[in-house]
Amino acid sequence: MRSAMPAEAPLLGAIEAGGTKFVLGAGTGADAIVDQVQIPTRDPETTLAETIAFFRRHPGLAAIGIGSFGPLERNRDAAKWGHILATPKPGWSDCDLAGAIARALGVPIGFDTDVNAAALAEARLGAARDAKVSVYVTIGTGIGGGVMADGRIVGGSGHPELGHMRPRRGPDDADFAGHCPFHGDCLEGLASGPAIIARWGQSLSHLAPDHEAHGLIAGYLAEMCNSLRAALAPDAIVLGGGVMGTPGLFERIVAQAAARDGGYFALSAERVIRRPALAPISGLAGAFLLAADLL
Ligand code: ZN
């Protein structure tokens, strides 16, 4: 008896390239990973050498997808396609991430941001499968988001920078200037993990459940959700990332978004705002899809 699985399913590579770690996978898809490792993100030379060594152990790869930290050039027509752009991360500015891997391994490369990859995966396979328009936002070391519309990743010459929108702040919430070096009190400057630690000295999950931080952070993220609802009419907003692991935060965001929306939007906050279905591998799953889409 032959297996029902198609024997010709191509072997794919996937890279979730993060600021602190690279997750590498090989398999025919996120549901059929045959090998997966995690390596620390060091300088580009060391990190890329380890990455290439991993994939050399899997001959016959048909394509590799990369979902990477940014900023990066995702436009295939651009001279710098596949490069990391100006980043404070030492050594990584102008790194030709996609090109280095393509040259070493001789396979086609799909390349996009880590959050666009996660948005793609949640839209095709996860929490936003029923959505025509969906947004994935990660709230962690930074805040970043990807937008999907009718099966496609939305972006012009660049990629969305949802984390740098400014939420409305309450009148009694003016004593923290914010942690973003570019904007001060943008979302990332107020509600990312480092911003929370800069303001209160501990991560949100370590602050007592009755600490004011919980309500304030939920409020900023509720403002973000309502701005996205107003701008894009999404069917789903999927909230992932380390900060979202804080007990009760998801429920507080939904409640505050509903309380602040004035009943105006067609779809309720309760229906639109969702937890990821593919965490913690939303990004890696998306990288597999970026690879598969090349074939
Ligand atoms: Zn900012």
User: Across the 295 residues of the chain, what is the mean pLDDT of every consecutive 10-residue run?
Assistant: 63 95 96 97 97 97 96 94 92 97 97 97 98 97 95 88 93 92 96 97 97 97 98 98 97 98 96 96 96 96
Distance separating alpha carbons of residues 14 and 68, to the nearest angstrom: 11
Span from the CA of 290 to the centroid of ligand 1 (angstroms) = 28
Span from the CA of 126 to the centroid of ligand 1 (angstroms) = 29
Distance separating alpha carbons of residues 223 and 167, to the nearest angstrom: 6
Distance separating alpha carbons of residues 217 and 139, to the nearest angstrom: 11
Classify the C-alpha dihedral 43-48-53-54 as positive or negative: positive
Strand partners, 40: 21
- The answer to whether 236 and 128 are in contact (CB under 8 A) is yes
pLDDT of residue 8: 76
Span from the CA of 116 to the centroid of ligand 1 (angstroms) = 19
- The answer to whether 52 and 97 are in contact (CB under 8 A) is no
Distance separating alpha carbons of residues 241 and 282, to the nearest angstrom: 10
pLDDT of residue 1: 46
Query: Does residue 96 sit in helix, strand or coil?
Result: strand
Report pTM.
Answer: 0.94
pLDDT of residue 5: 55
Span from the CA of 14 to the centroid of ligand 1 (angstroms) = 29
Alpha helices in 179-234 (DSSP H): 187-191, 193-200, 212-232
Host H or E run for residue 16: strand 12-17
Structure tokens at 8: 């010709």
Span from the CA of 138 to the centroid of ligand 1 (angstroms) = 15
- The answer to whether 178 and 184 are in contact (CB under 8 A) is yes
Span from the CA of 179 to the centroid of ligand 1 (angstroms) = 8
Span from the CA of 72 to the centroid of ligand 1 (angstroms) = 17
Span from the CA of 88 to the centroid of ligand 1 (angstroms) = 14
